[in-house]
Amino acid sequence: MYNHKKILDELLITRNGIHVNSIHFVSDEIFDKNESEKLLSVGLDSYEPIYFSVEGSNYPETTGEQPFLKREGATICVKKDLKIEQVIFLKNHVQKELDVPIELQSDWRSMVQLCALLHELGHVEDMQKSINFSLSEMPSVKLVEAEAYAHTYALNYLNNLGASIARDTLSGSLYKLINSEYEFEKNLIQLVLK
């Protein structure tokens, strides 16, 4: 079986070669706070969050099978002294999976956090390369495309690593979107499948 904890720990150090200001594991309570409060909670209150206007579809107000309902990570683009960086937040607590035996729950947690970290690193790369994010005077994001990019980034990394359980778990959650009633989710899965 794959050691997801070991891969997660290595990725927290290497960050797949992507510059990230910092990565923080936080409680659900902090994770659910707004951007400024999240930054304050980890001592980065001197950084100003950058807010993006959305081009195209926005997240549905109610999600069906979409993984956004179970978001495990978030990236905040920040600015300080004209320098722009990204800060990643990951949930410290991962909900137990009932279908996973108790002795494998720790590995499940690491696998979910690994997938979340990869997804967020995909957002960071996207922001830094200005693929779906524009950091112009009026920052904007093509949100569906940005989410598809981050999911594809995570899937490609896991596939190249040979981490088939994590890859298949992530792709399985995405395949559920095929039957979604929400335009955002339908567009997202179509982009991921390209």
Q: Which pLDDT score, from 0 to 100, does residue 61 have? A: 67
Residue 146 pLDDT > 90:
yes
98-140 residue pLDDT tens: 677 777 788 889 999 999 999 999 999 999 999 999 999 999 9
pTM of the shown model: 0.92
Q: Note whether 141 and 133 are within 8 A (CB).
A: yes
C-alpha span between 5 and 108 (Å, rounded):
9
User: Residue 34's domain spans which residues?
Assistant: 4-193
Q: How many domains does the chain have?
A: 1
Cβ-based neighbour number of residue 1 at 10 Å: 6
User: Which of residues 62 and 148 earns the better pLDDT score?
Assistant: 148
Asked if residue 141 lies in contact with residue 55, where contact means CB atoms within 8 angstroms, the answer is yes
Locate tokens 């495990």: which residue?
72
**Contact status, residue 66 vs residue 60, Cβ threshold 8 Å:** yes
